Each structure stands twice: as C-alpha cells, then as structure tokens.
Structure 1
Amino acid sequence: MEVRRVQKFGKSTLMVSLPAEWVKEVGLNPGESIYLEVDEDGSLKVYPPNLKSESASKEVKVVVKSASPADLAGRMVYSLYVLGYDKITVESSNGPLNEEILRKVKDAVRSLIGLEIISQDLTTIQIQSFLDPTKYNMNSLINRLSNTLKQMLHYLNLGIKEASRTFLQEVVELEKEVDRLYYLSLRQLLMAQVNRSLAYMIGVKRIQIVGNRILMKAIEEAADEISDAANDLLSLHPEDLEAIKSSWDKIDMLIDQTSVVIDHVIKVLGKEDVKLVNEVIDELETLRRVLITEAIGIEEKIGKLNSQRALVVTRTLNLRLYNAIRRMEPIAEIAFNRSIENLKEIVID
C-alpha cells in the first residue's frame, strides 16, 4: 500500500496527487474527469473515465461420457454461466455426445441471456458468452423481474376471466423469461462481488449483494408459484375451467391486490422511508388474511357446481397466490433494513 500526504491547496481545499504509474496505466490526461466513490467501509475509490470492467476471459472444459447424467450436464452450464465463465467447452471422452446430453446442453444455452453455441461437432460443443455486463444495471434487472411477474398475474387473471388456454400458456412462457433474467442477475451479482469496477458501474453496493440475491430468488419463486397455478388450470377440461370462471369476480380482486402489493414492495426498496416500508409490511399481512377469508367463499361456490377437479385446482390456486405473497415478505424485510441502515438517530412517534 502506498502512502501519500494530504496537502492544502488555497484556503480550504485539500488535495492529494495521483500515482504517476496508475495515471499512465489507465491513460489519464490533464483536464479529464475521474469518478469518486465512498465505499461502505469509509474508503474512497477513484475510477478513471475510461473505466473498463473486462477481466481475463474465464474458460472451462466440461468432460462427459456417454453414460453421464444429462441433467447434470445441463445444470453445469447454468452454474458456470452464473459464475461468470465466458467460454464453456463440453466434450465427450468416449465417442459422440449422446442425444440427451446434447439436448440438455442446448436447452440450457437457449435459456440464458447472451450465451450462444459457436462451434459444434460430434464430440464437442463450444459455448461463448457475448454479454456486456456493464449494460445491465442491477436496479433495472430487479424492475424487469418484478414487472414480468406482474404481467404473469395479469395473464393469469385474463386466462380465468376468459377461460382462455392461450392466456394461461402466456403465463408459463413469461415464467421462462423470469428465469432468464434471474440467472443473468445472479451472474451480474457474483461478477460484481469480485470486480469492484463493474459493481460501481451497475449500481451494486457490496453491503447489498446478499440482500439482492435473496430478493431476486424471492421473485423467481413467486413466478414459479404463478406458473404452477397456470399449469394447474391448463390441466382442466374446458367445462371445469368454465366452473372456475364463474367465481372470477372474487379471484380478480385477489389477483389484482396481489399485483398491487408486489408493486409496492419493489418500489419501497429504493426509498429510505421506514414508515412507508412498515405500511407495506402491514399491507402484506392484511392481504394474506383477506386471501384466506375470500378463498373459503370461492371454494364453497365452486363446490356447489359438482366439479371435483375444479374445486381441487381452485384450492391450489388460492394456495399458490398465498405463497406468492409470502415470497414478498423477505423483500419487504430487506427494504426495512435498508431504510434504517444509514440513520444516526431513529425516532418512533
């Protein structure tokens, strides 16, 4: 660590010179601006104007056999992507890649933003990431995740209102987009954890990395609940779906309120307003109680229609909405903690 003396410049300005070696390395010229960031530990970071986040390309080879579990090969691609690898080579050690491994690897590549197969032969697949991580701001990714989740609820509502399999299938397709954004967000977070320059550029504070990972997982799990609800409805015969449609007015209220509370939870993340966050936490608890009460009435109405399958799916629909709301609670807790973490005095009135 190099030590430099702080000098006085003029009446009140303090200054410290920049190391000549660093100035030369980053190509800094007189008159250019630099960026300063106060870190959570009180240290000051200095960034050049031509800040680059690129580091050495991370490459890895995955060697498989014809008898290797195909699911494991596909899961390996997901994990290596999240860990920030730029080039992944999947290679067979005993003849051509078997059909199932080939399919799982290709499905994984198609499911991940910025990943492409650049070369393939009978025994080898080469996969390359073409992501520019500096273009994916963390707050925008969180907003995209929550907006897609709300779109899923919107189409779920329409699917029940119109007894439409098309709208319900759209819910399932949107859940795939949530997964794509989720994996991209994890990749960004883990790369930001080891690359402070990238963290600065995409708006990731070190103290918030764990919280961001928890909240993104919560949104992804809520999306799973809504997608499962759509799949349950898609499994019904048309007459059973029509039976559930008869209670749409009550279901509409529950889905609409779920969408509203999700919106409120995400919005308070960026506000340092402890009272507002506390109101959202109360709102979550109230909605859970309302859902339980309304679910009883909905199930009683469906039960009178002598459609046992429709009744079962209605119960699971209510449960999945309840679970989606519960997934928002960790996010609200994170928002609460962030609203007070920088306070010097807390007054409760």
Structure 2
Amino acid sequence: METRKVQLSGGTTFTVSLPKTWATEHGISSGSVLYLHPDDDGTLLVEAGTERSDDDRTVRLDVTGYRTAMVRQAVTSMYLVGIDKLVIVDRNGHDDARLEAALDLCAELSGLELMETSDRTLVFQNIVDPSSISIRKTVLRMKLVVLSMHRDAVRAVTDGDVALASRVVARDNEVDKLFCLVSRQFQRALDDLQTVDALDTTRSALFEYFHTARQFERIGDHATKMAGLVVEHDSDLTDVSLDEFTRLANTSRRIVERAADVVLSDVDVTTAFDILSDVAELEAAADDLDKQLYQHENATAAFAFGLLLDSVRRTASYGRNIAEMGIQQAIRREETEMVAPRDG
C-alpha cells in the first residue's frame, strides 16, 4: 500500500499524485483519461483505460467435436460471466439437435437471443442493457416464486396432489432463469466497475443480493425435490403421519420469508437473531421426528418421509444463511444498534 497527501491546486481543486510504477505499467501519461468510482464505504477506485467496446465482450468459440451437452454448458458459462456476443463455430456443421438446444438456451437465459444461424455458425447476442435491470427487484421476484413453490409443494405432500406437484416441478426453470440473470450481473460487476455504476448500486449490495438469490435457488430446488417425491411416492406417503411434517415445513417457509425481509426490506435486525434460534428449534424437532421413522414398518415410506424432512431442514438452513447475511449487512451499514440474541 502507498500513501499520498492531498494537495490543493488553484485554491479550489484537490489533487493526488499517482504511483509512478502503476502509471507506467498501465500506459498512463499526461492527458490520459482515468475513471473514478466513489463508493459509499469511503473508497475511491481508480480505473485505467477506456470504456469497453462491444468487441471486448465478444467471444468466438470453435466447438468442432463437442457434444451438444458440452456446447450448452459453454454457452451458459459465457452468459454467466457477462459475454454479450458469442459466435459458436463447428467446422463439421451444426445438426438439428444443436439448433434445438440453442433455442432452448434462449428460453432459459434472460436476454439471450439467437441472432444468426448457418450450417457452421450460431451467433448468440445478449440484448438486455444491464442498467435496465434492477437486481433487487429480480431477487424479490425469486423470493415470491420460491415461497409459492414451497407452499404448493407442502400442500401437494399433505393432499397427495400429483398434478399440483408436477406444476411445482415445472416452475423450477423459472427460478433458475432468474438466478442466472442475477449471477450474470454479479459476475460482470466483479470484472467491470462501469457495470456497478450502470446498476446504480454498490459492490457490497450486489454481493448481498447474489448470496440471497443463491439461497432462494437452493430453496426452489428443495421445493422441487419435495414435489418430485409426491410424484414418485404418492402411495407410500399415505402410510405416514404428515401433521408434524406440515407444521415444520410451514415454519421453515416462514423462516425464509422473515429472513428475506431483513435483507431486502430493511426489517429490524433483531428478527435475524430470532431466526437463528427458530432454526435450531426446528432442527431439533426434525431430528426427533426422524428418529421415530426407525421403527416404521414401511421402509419405503420411511425413506421418502426422511427425504422430505431433509428438505425441510435444508430450507430452514438456507433461511438462516439469509438471516446471517442480514446481520452482516446491519454491521456494515451501521444502521442498527446490535442487540444480543435471545437465550435458547
């Protein structure tokens, strides 16, 4: 680390000299343009170079010999790291399966369009301007979707409703699509400070949103898992008592909802401390219920019920992760007087 003294120039302008070695390494000389990024935490980031052009975010990838699944993964990875234009070339030509996979990707990834197709070339373009997307609103949308999925999954379990369970499974793609959008914006912001400016937020806030979205994505996976168990083991689940499961599952969902409010809606941080105790209580109750399965006569039903309980535990655990982020958020922002957690 180097230190510099602030100088007053012309009676009105503050100036600071740049480290000579750093300036030389980045080709900075008299007349060079630097980009300054002030942050709420008191830091001022200095970025050398010019604004990025479209060519800076264009990748050409030769996928000759790649299986279709590998191409899907490559396109998804490029999307997530913030590439705007991706040219996929196969010297042997793209088959129908490859083209179908490309169209599926455009449906699964927000803003991705297939702009050009030929025998050997596929051109993907992201058409969404980062500044037009509110990350906070996207995460709030994820919250609504996963809580709805979880509520329906629990009802499908208790009612044995296979049709409702199937609808829950189908909604998992919606959660994944939203999470990919948040991940893309977060990853791009790590690489490009100008993206942070365009999003009109801070790096710490972006991390909070990304972390919370990651928990929502996992909660959505467990709602899908519970719904899938209804589809696969509907008849077996009628052989176990579901009352306590329903109570614990509903409690886990309320934990997630309250934790999300701390991070996304500025609810008092004492709620986050309460959640930590609530999760511990739920886990103890789930363990007790799990032990009762050891003596169950129907091993298949006990196995399926154990998987349901695992999803309940994990859902509450992800809620705890969000609550812990809320506590960290309060510390960083110094907006809330820290209060000791309650006993128990």
Superposed, which structure 2 residues align to 1:95-110 within 5 Å? Answer: 95-110=92-107
Which position in structure 1 is the counterpart of 2:216? 219
Structure 1 residues 38, 77: CA separation in 2 closer, same or farther (over 3 Å shift)?
A: closer
Contact 2:54 2:84 in 1 (8 A): no
Structure 1 residues 243, 64: CA separation in 2 closer, same or farther (over 3 Å shift)?
A: same
Selected match of 1:111 from 108, 113, 127? 108
Selected match of 2:251 from 251, 257, 264? 257
C-alpha deviations, 1:38-63, integer Å up to 9, x for none?
A: 53234499xxxxxxx99535221221
Which position in structure 2 is the counterpart of 1:268? 262
Superposed, which structure 2 residues align to 1:1-349 within 5 Å? Answer: 5=9, 38-43=39-44, 56=54, 58-65=57-64, 67-93=65-91, 95-236=92-233, 238-243=234-239, 247-270=241-264, 271=266, 273-297=268-292, 299=293, 303=296, 306=298, 308-343=299-334
1:328 alignment partner, SS class: helix
Structure 1 residues 295, 204: CA separation in 2 closer, same or farther (over 3 Å shift)?
A: farther
Q: Identity over the aligned pairs, expressed in percent?
A: 17
State the Cα distance separating 1:154 from its structure 2 match.
1.2
Contact 2:261 2:267 in 1 (8 A): no
Structure 1 residues 191, 166: CA separation in 2 closer, same or farther (over 3 Å shift)?
A: same
Gaps of 5+ in 2: 1-5, 15-32
State the Cα distance separating 1:249 from its structure 2 match.
2.8
Count of aligned pairs: 310
* Range moving further from structure 2, 225-234 or 151-160: 225-234
C-alpha deviations, 1:301-344, integer Å up to 9, x for none?
A: 9x35x4x4332211111112212222233322221111112439
| 2:41 alignment partner AA | E
Contact 1:233 1:313 in 2 (8 A): no
* Range moving further from structure 2, 332-341 or 101-110: 101-110
State the Cα distance separating 1:199 from its structure 2 match.
2.3
TM-score, normalising length from structure 2? 0.77
Gaps of 5+ in 1: 9-14, 17-24, 26-35, 46-52
Contact 2:39 2:202 in 1 (8 A): no
User: 1:251, 1:150 → 2: CA distance?
Assistant: 17
State the Cα distance separating 1:149 from its structure 2 match.
1.2
1:118 alignment partner, SS class: strand
User: 2:267, 2:154 → 1: CA distance?
Assistant: 33
User: 1:337, 1:118 → 2: CA distance?
Assistant: 43
Structure 1 residues 344, 107: CA separation in 2 closer, same or farther (over 3 Å shift)?
A: closer
TM-score, normalising length from structure 1? 0.76
Structure 1 residues 239, 41: CA separation in 2 closer, same or farther (over 3 Å shift)?
A: same
1:71 alignment partner, SS class: helix
C-alpha deviations, 1:144-177, integer Å up to 9, x for none?
A: 1222111111110221233122111122122111
